[in-house]
Structure 1
Amino acid sequence: MSLSPQFLDELRARTPLSTLIGKSVKVTKAGREYKACCPFHNEKTPSFTINDEKGFYHCFGCGAHGDAIRWMTEQRGLPFMDAVKELALAAGLDVPAPDPRAAKKAETARGLHDAMAAAQNWFVEQLGGIEGAEARAYLDKRGLSEATRKAFGIGFAPDSRGKLRGALKEFGDPMLVETGMLIQPEVDGGKARDPYDRFRGRLMIPIRDARGRVIAFGGRILGAGEPKYLNSPDTPLFDKGRTLYNIDKALPAARQAGRVIVVEGYMDVIALAQAGIHECVAPLGTALTEHQIERLWKMVDVPILCFDGDSAGIRAADRAALRALPMLRPGHSLSFVTLPQGQDPDDMVRGKGAKAFEACLKGAKPLVERLWQHEREAGSIDTPEARAGLQQRLNDQVATIADPLVRKEYGKAVQDRFFLEFGWGWRKSERNAVRGFIARSLEEVSPKLATISQRVERMTHRAILLGLSRLPQILYSHREQIVALHMPTATLTEWKNLLIRASFERPALEENLLDAILADSSLGPIERRNIQHDLGFSFFRPGADPTMAEQDLVEVIEILRFEQELTAQLARHESALYAQGDESWISSEDWDQRQALLAQKRQNDERVMALKANIEEQLLAA
């Protein structure tokens, strides 16, 4: 139906916006305007203004802006025409008459709504009657209070093929069949058979639209039988792929809480509401659809999907993630919570209370994590070919994202997780730690803290760690020698231990850690220079031949490791000689051994000196 701009302008002019908003939000006069705490996001200091003269509201905190009609559609969750009709009724305006076909359709819908409301009242009456005793006992067992039963309109359908039909006979069989309350059998042998009640011997849970009108039912069987839950079929009032259970109550609650939680079933929603968590909805026996996801995004930017910890719950989470993926847009996504194995929200709040459920919600994972987990568990990852298959599957999924910005960010995110999982990249915590080690170890070679010999020793060992950070593959080929290599300061020891620990945790580290640190835009020019310029070892010089760099790094490690053993051996030898008490008794054999050890040490020192590229001159000039 098309409405003229003139009618809509008249409707807005006749609607005092502060009065309309004041029905659900506390407003206070502030000069020529009104102020309130914004109902679209949580705040303690009012930043939401209402201007009756101009006919709009605006929040300076979250940017929410609109007129009376927008208020009804956004805050109340009403469809546009329903919002217009409700405002027009309050303003004393007649909505322009629709065309005859639309009028007939609206009249039919009114009749269907009346029939559904009558059915709802009848089911509630039956719950309180003699035949409802078993249903009441079941609700008592589930711990649902009388107030909760009333709030959700829970009723009971007796185990009869015709009681509802008889109670609602004034509406006629055709209308009751159209609502889905009766089943019309097929013609048998040319003879039409009477329709019969669809719901029999079931606990009845009404499904309402955003305006709170009953449009369908979900019936839970009492005792044994299949199906456990039976929903109304699709009707002119009810499309299960576009409807969310409890949408009428969850809309205002979600505005207040700033979140909406999607759970698997009716009883989860009801149990959570009884526990004080009202911003919950559930799909209606099907996987979450694109229409339902869009409906959720009208409520909040990132709905929380909470699934049971069993295999069915995991499959439901995966289906929702893959269905939402092509629809993602900046700022809009889903997050996922998987409950412990064998538990659903109803079990959890009844057994451990709302705090336990809230604790689970704090661990919600983003959609990208759900996608990674789904593909990660889809097949083997034990071989290079299998890991390549994982990358291909991830890339194929990311390619389905329509929005180019989101698609680009997802590509980067899954690549980061791939490298993190399989050990080809450095963690942020490791990058930050090594950044600190570089700075502190540079301070340790200042003339104020060390002599020339100490500075040379520290700079040499520091250069080895810088080389290992650039060429982490050496951590795997010479791990034993590196583990045994003594570091002259605590900072250098911590640095070495971090590198060794990373090599044990991950099967391969191929990324240049220093390049990863230098990629951080927060580095200042001085810190960047200190990382880029150090001793002139080939394994640290930019542009050095990679093979030579690796060979030189390994040679320095082996020389220092050998020298470490040589120094200890020389000390033990001299200690044994001096223990004799008289140097004149030193044998020529002992003396020759001592001289050989000293000669070997001099050769090692000379080789390291050659590899150091005149480090002493650099230090003296510093």
Structure 2
Amino acid sequence: MAGKIPREFIDDLLDRTDIVDLIDARVGLKKAGKDYQACCPFHNEKSPSFTVSRDKQFYHCFGCGANGNAISFMMEYDKLEFVDAIEELASLLNLDVPREQGSGKPERTVEQKRSDYDLMLQTARFYQHQLKHHKNSSAVIDYVKSRGLSGETVKHYMIGYAPSEWESLCKQVGRTAEQRQQLLELKLASEKTPSRQFDFFRDRLMFPIRDKRGRVIAFGGRVMDNDQGPKYLNSPETRIFHKGFELYGLYEAKQANDKLDSVLIVEGYMDVVALAEQGINYAVAALGTATTAEHMHTLFRTTDTVICCYDGDRAGKDAAWRALENALSHLKDGKSLRFVFLPDGEDPDSLVQQEGKDAFETRLAQADDFSKVLFDKLAQSCDLTNDAGKAKLMSEALPMIGKIPSDYYQESLLEKLARLIGRTREQLSAKLATPKQQHSIERKFKVTPMRRAIGLLIQHPQLATSVEYLPELAQMNIPGIQLLLELQLVCLQNSHYTTAQLLEYFRDKPQYDALKKLAVWRHDINEQALSEEFKNTFQFIEDQCLNFRLETLLIKDKTEGLNSEERLECALLTQALSSRRTSQN
């Protein structure tokens, strides 16, 4: 696996990227005081509530709450994963993304990585050429037409043909020892004996799999005669292909739609292209595996509505359940998950050709909400005519409901569960201890001195130098003190940090969401008074810590007694606190 991207590079990338220029090129910003404004690109609004700060290198929407730095914007706006966003920003600056050595293996250079994608594209074009020019091409084209596919759809999805000969691709592409080794490593060729290679895919209709950036990373091959072996043969995992993270047809769906209002998950490549042929160009397929949590994460970053389309048999119901389980943690407010189960013996390919686009989309419009699938499945194993069955349903349903981040969905599901087992929603809600509930409480926090200090520091990192760094305070059991000191230390060690870079440092830490809220907190403090306000707040917190330590020592003195060092510390603390009170008065 590739090593991590060095922290220094991420800092430098954010330092070189001007978030105002980045967002202005995509959204169009207007000057508003010292900041910039626009209508938010992440939700519909008529008057601008989306603000971008050049000083903080940070954006925030007061309407929907979206906020972050340049990396976050690329992830949200271009629907990229973290690493892809880094690579995209780096490419805008003509920078190569370095990697830390993680596995002991030599890190592949940028040129080597690029050559992998070049080879995959060359292979896809080879298959496309063979579809038209191989001796079997007439039979293959007849098969493609029999499946109802037009030349336009074949071209859009880069569909090709892998020749029936054993070494066609190897001879065409593997002309050097290095290329032959690369073919093996990318699983386009196999080798049973040394120096004797043969094509991995033979006599199959080929479907190139493209990543979110449109690069060919793998292939799926379908037989045209069902007696030839397994219907589908998929590329094994390689250094550029991880099937649990990729979805066939997602890139093409994005290309075909300015905005994806919904995405339809189906089971096979042929389903995706057959639906596209009929004008349903928003379907994707998992790659020979169940719909994973990573798939759902990608989909809900791309669209608000995900519709899962499966066979109505047991295998289809099991696939739907796995998809539902993996989607729960992504069901935020405004996100929708629905399910369509097809008649026995039918798949999207056959059904859409029988009944056409309108009738098929009517089925999608009548899709079951995920809540129905959830309770139907759980109730199958619970006898709701007795208390034991009701208790079982409650014990199985509550943990699943607790995974859902949407307050609305949680309340709706608790209402349904309450009706099924004869309880009230309030009784069930009391049993639902979820991270979301804690998050709701934190969202309504009052600004304590600790939050004020952290908020001022995250928004104005230069304040770190205005007070003494006192690492010993971390030993005091005061909520938030360790985070405040860590923030201060990071700022002291990186005096150039902006709000954006400081937040990026904490991206993978549990405090990240709370820090993002404090980064957009309106403190209404005059710029000239910021330093004094921070000093006073920090001194209040320091006094809290000293008082806590003094109280701890006084309690110990009454219960166990103090040693000589502790008595001296107690006297010094009493003197210091008394002196502070005198100076404040």
Q: TM-score range by the shorter chain?
A: 0.5 to 0.7
**Pair 1:172-2:163 in alignment:** no
Q: What is the match of residue 392 of structure 2?
A: 392
Give distance in 1, aligned partners of 2:346 and 2:73: 39
Amino acid across the alignment from 1:210? K
Give distance in 1, aligned partners of 2:196 and 2:394: 55
Q: What is the match of residue 120 of structure 2?
A: 116
| Contact 2:127–2:206 under 8 Å retained in 1 | yes
| Contact 2:127–2:160 under 8 Å retained in 1 | yes
Match of 1:230 among 223, 229, 233: 233
Offset of residue 110 of structure 1: 2.5
**Pair 1:7-2:9 in alignment:** no
Report the CA distance shift for 1:106/1:17 in structure 2 as closer, same or farther (over 3 A). Answer: closer
Offset of residue 234 of structure 1: 0.9
Match of 2:267 among 257, 264, 269: 264
Give distance in 1, aligned partners of 2:349 and 2:144: 13
Q: What is the match of residue 346 of structure 1?
A: 349
Q: What is the match of residue 155 of structure 1?
A: 160
Give distance in 2, aligned partners of 1:66 and 1:274: 39
Give distance in 2, aligned partners of 1:46 and 1:256: 21
Offset of residue 107 of structure 1: 4.7
Report the CA distance shift for 1:147/1:45 in structure 2 as closer, same or farther (over 3 A). Answer: farther
Amino acid across the alignment from 1:209? D
Q: Alpha carbon RMSD of aligned pairs, Å?
A: 3.6
Report the CA distance shift for 1:47/1:361 in structure 2 as closer, same or farther (over 3 A). Answer: farther
Cα offsets for 1:556-596 (capped at 9, x unmatched): xxxxxxxxxxxxxxxxxxxxxxxxxxxxxxxxxxxxxxxxx
Offset of residue 158 of structure 1: 1.0
Amino acid across the alignment from 2:317? I
Offset of residue 330 of structure 1: 5.0
| Contact 1:38–1:48 under 8 Å retained in 2 | yes
Q: What is the match of residue 141 of structure 1?
A: 146
Report the CA distance shift for 1:364/1:58 in structure 2 as closer, same or farther (over 3 A). Answer: farther
| Contact 2:162–2:206 under 8 Å retained in 1 | yes
Cα offsets for 1:408-451 (capped at 9, x unmatched): 8645533424569xxxxxxxxxxxxxxxxxxxxxxxxxxxxxxx
Q: How does 1:481-500 map to 2 (within 5 A)?
A: none
Offset of residue 244 of structure 1: 1.3
Q: What is the match of residue 480 of structure 2?
A: none
Report the CA distance shift for 1:285/1:97 in structure 2 as closer, same or farther (over 3 A). Answer: closer
Q: What is the match of residue 212 of structure 2?
A: 210
Q: How does 1:364-403 map to 2 (within 5 A)?
A: 364-378=367-381, 384=385, 388-389=388-389, 392-393=392-393, 395-399=395-399, 403=403
Matched residue of 1:222: which SS?
A: coil
Offset of residue 302 of structure 1: 5.0
Amino acid across the alignment from 1:140? K
Q: What is the match of residue 132 of structure 2?
A: 128
Give distance in 1, aligned partners of 2:123 and 2:156: 17
| Contact 1:157–1:201 under 8 Å retained in 2 | yes
Q: What is the match of residue 248 of structure 1?
A: 251
Offset of residue 183 of structure 1: 1.8
Matched residue of 1:77: which SS?
A: coil
TM-score (norm 1): 0.57
| Contact 1:208–1:246 under 8 Å retained in 2 | yes
| Contact 1:78–1:210 under 8 Å retained in 2 | yes
**Pair 1:314-2:317 in alignment:** yes
Structure ID, larger Rg: 1
Identity %: 35
Offset of residue 143 of structure 1: 1.9
Q: What is the match of residue 551 of structure 2?
A: none
Deviating more after overlay: 254-263 vs 100-109:
100-109
Give distance in 1, aligned partners of 2:258 and 2:72: 15
Report the CA distance shift for 1:51/1:389 in structure 2 as closer, same or farther (over 3 A). Answer: closer
Amino acid across the alignment from 1:116? M
Q: What is the match of residue 552 of structure 2?
A: none
| Contact 1:109–1:236 under 8 Å retained in 2 | no
Amino acid across the alignment from 1:2? P
Offset of residue 284 of structure 1: 0.9
**Pair 1:305-2:312 in alignment:** no
Cα offsets for 1:449-506 (capped at 9, x unmatched): xxxxxxxxxxxxxxxxxxxxxxxxxxxxxxxxxxxxxxxxxxxxxxxxxxxxxxxxxx
Report the CA distance shift for 1:35/1:254 in structure 2 as closer, same or farther (over 3 A). Answer: farther
Give distance in 2, aligned partners of 1:328 and 1:346: 29
Matched residue of 1:303: which SS?
A: strand
Report the CA distance shift for 1:278/1:371 in structure 2 as closer, same or farther (over 3 A). Answer: same
Offset of residue 173 of structure 1: 2.3
Higher relative contact order (CA 8 A, sep 6+): 2
Match of 2:359 among 356, 369, 373: 356
Q: What is the match of residue 453 of structure 1?
A: none
Give distance in 1, aligned partners of 2:241 and 2:154: 23
Offset of residue 132 of structure 1: 2.1
Cα offsets for 1:126-177 (capped at 9, x unmatched): 0111422222112212222222111111010011211111111135322111
Mark the runs of 5 or more structure 2 residues left unpaired by the alignment.
424-585
TM-score (norm 2): 0.60
Amino acid across the alignment from 2:92? A
Report the CA distance shift for 1:183/1:19 in structure 2 as closer, same or farther (over 3 A). Answer: same
Give distance in 1, aligned partners of 2:132 and 2:421: 58
